Amino acid sequence: MNAQRTQVAIIGAGPAGLLLGQLLHREGIDSVVLEATSRAHVESRVRAGVLEHQSVDILQAAGVGARMRREGLLHHGIELRFQGSRHRIDFGALTGKSVMIYGQHEVVKDLIAARVQAALPLLFEIRDVQLSGLESSAPRVQFRAEGQTHALECDFVAGCDGFHGICRSYLPASGVKLFERVYPFAWLGILAAAPPASQELVYALHEHGFALLSMRSPTLSRLYLQCAPDEDLDGWPDERVWEELQVRLATRDGFSLTTGPIQQKSVTAMRSFVVEPMQWGRLFLAGDAAHIVPPTGAKGMNLALADVHVLARALVSHFRYGSDDLLRRYSEQCLHRIWKVQRFSWWMTALLHRFDTDNDFDRRRQTAELEYLASSPAAQQSLAENYVGPPLE
């Protein structure tokens, strides 16, 4: 068996794991990042694309913001669309802040490039990760790579391995509480080589359900339709996807979608999930490993980045000053923000989707809420300040 030692073993090379490695590196703390899939896979996984203003600042301060600043699209508002009319929520006027459109896979590419350039350990396609000694001061991570078993001795383990990872299962069942809501719909998402038909994101509620027009670049559109959780993609040839998007996004002033070749098509389930606490002994969970939000509020990647920002500070405090106070309070500090974001993501989802149990009362209530948002600066302010992101405490 090959044995190695590091200060922090990071499981998962998504935005959470990679940013944590980068933040620790800048503070002179060693880490090893272990990833189950290949570099090509993580660099091409198209998922989130909206960065809160604080996420932009965190990436910039971590030294990985140069390409984002050059290529990202700064957005100062979003549009709400219902009953054929458009209503802009002006983030600039309401909060003085903006969001950045920059794909999650681009963030991941930038973080991997920085790690490779600094010659820091990042192992892809590793298998069979097992953790032990989490309640001691010397945890151990065992895994397989290239047919051999490896052991990594460390001071801490960061579980950044996403919702389907293994780290969460090491929290003792008797010591944790799970909170979950599964929604009765999903999103059918496409990535299309078509210039976006709007300069800003458009969130629409139509009699047929939700639709979202978003983008990843001036030439790539990302669009979504509310669909059934078990929707069969075979029933959605490209022409039908474009037709339905046009129907749901139509306006009385003649909005027309720009179309183009569809490069990817997928169905994403919608779930709200939180595990409390997010730590056990020397294991700390961050990102999707600890919580999931429905993507309506564009918060998943932002929460992951915020968690590791807090975790990195706590680890620096341990290694530099010998203080474990921030580590002890890690979970509590993150959960405070996570539940605010959970509430907002649930609210945006409830506002903009047709539920199975929809009845006329709910439809009228949704319309009344959208009309209130369209007409009330106070209601718009609440949406805007949550969308651009609550402050990092």
Ligand X SMILES: Cc1cc2nc3c(=O)[nH]c(=O)nc-3n(C[C@H](O)[C@H](O)[C@H](O)COP(=O)(O)OP(=O)(O)OC[C@H]3O[C@@H](n4cnc5c(N)ncnc54)[C@H](O)[C@@H]3O)c2cc1C
Q: Which residues of the shown chain bind ligand X in the complex (CB under 6 A)?
A: 11-17, 34-37, 42, 47-48, 104, 129, 160-162, 165-166, 268, 287-288, 295, 298-301, 304
Q: Is residue 391 annotated as a catalytic residue, yes or no?
A: no
Beta strands in 125-176 (DSSP E): 127-132, 140-145, 148-153, 156-159
Are 23 and 315 contacting, i.e. CB atoms less than 8 angstroms apart? Answer: no
Q: What is the closest distance, in whole angstroms, from the C-beta atom of residue 48 to ligand X in the complex?
A: 3
Q: Is residue 377 annotated as a catalytic residue, yes or no?
A: no
CA 17 to chain centre: 13
Task: Show the tokens assigned to 346.
Answer: 């649930």
Nearer to ligand X, 113 or 368 (CB): 113
Measured between alpha carbons, how far is 388 from 383 in angstroms, rounded to an integer? Answer: 9
Q: What is the closest distance, in whole angstroms, from the C-beta atom of residue 370 to ligand X in the complex?
A: 21
Q: How long a stretch of residues is the chain? A: 393
Q: Is residue 203 annotated as a catalytic residue, yes or no?
A: yes
Measured between alpha carbons, how far is 244 from 281 in angstroms, rounded to an integer? Answer: 50
The dihedrals phi and psi of 119, each to the nearest 5 degrees, come to 55, 45
Q: What is the closest distance, in whole angstroms, from the C-beta atom of residue 137 to ligand X in the complex?
A: 23
Measured between alpha carbons, how far is 352 from 113 in angstroms, rounded to an integer? Answer: 38
Q: Which residues of 359-380 are buried (b: 16+ CB within 10 A; e: fewer)?
A: eeeeeeebeebbeebbeeeebb
What is the SS3 assignment for 40? helix
Are 298 and 53 contacting, i.e. CB atoms less than 8 angstroms apart? Answer: no
Nearer to ligand X, 65 or 389 (CB): 389
Are 186 and 231 contacting, i.e. CB atoms less than 8 angstroms apart? Answer: yes
Nearer to ligand X, 262 or 301 (CB): 301
Nearer to ligand X, 225 or 304 (CB): 304
Q: What is the closest distance, in whole angstroms, from the C-beta atom of residue 172 to ligand X in the complex?
A: 19
Nearer to ligand X, 290 or 384 (CB): 290
Closest among 167, 130, 141 to 14, alpha carbons compared = 167
Q: What is the closest distance, in whole angstroms, from the C-beta atom of residue 166 to ligand X in the complex?
A: 4
Q: What is the closest distance, in whole angstroms, from the C-beta atom of residue 276 to ligand X in the complex?
A: 17
Q: What is the closest distance, in whole angstroms, from the C-beta atom of residue 368 to ligand X in the complex?
A: 27
Measured between alpha carbons, how far is 179 from 254 in angstroms, rounded to an integer? Answer: 43
Q: Is residue 387 annotated as a catalytic residue, yes or no?
A: yes
Nearer to ligand X, 45 or 336 (CB): 45
Nearer to ligand X, 152 or 298 (CB): 298
Which residue of the set 25, 105, 295, 309 is catalytic? 295
Q: Is residue 102 annotated as a catalytic residue, yes or no?
A: no
What is the SS3 assignment for 327? helix
Q: Is 349 exposed, middle or buried (0-12, 13-18, 19+ CB in 10 A)?
A: buried
The residues near 363 (Cβ < 8 Å, ≥ 6 apart) are none
Q: Is 391 exposed, middle or buried (0-12, 13-18, 19+ CB in 10 A)?
A: exposed
Other beta carbons within 10 angstroms of residue 78's beta carbon come to: 23
Active-site annotation, residues: 75, 203, 295, 299, 387
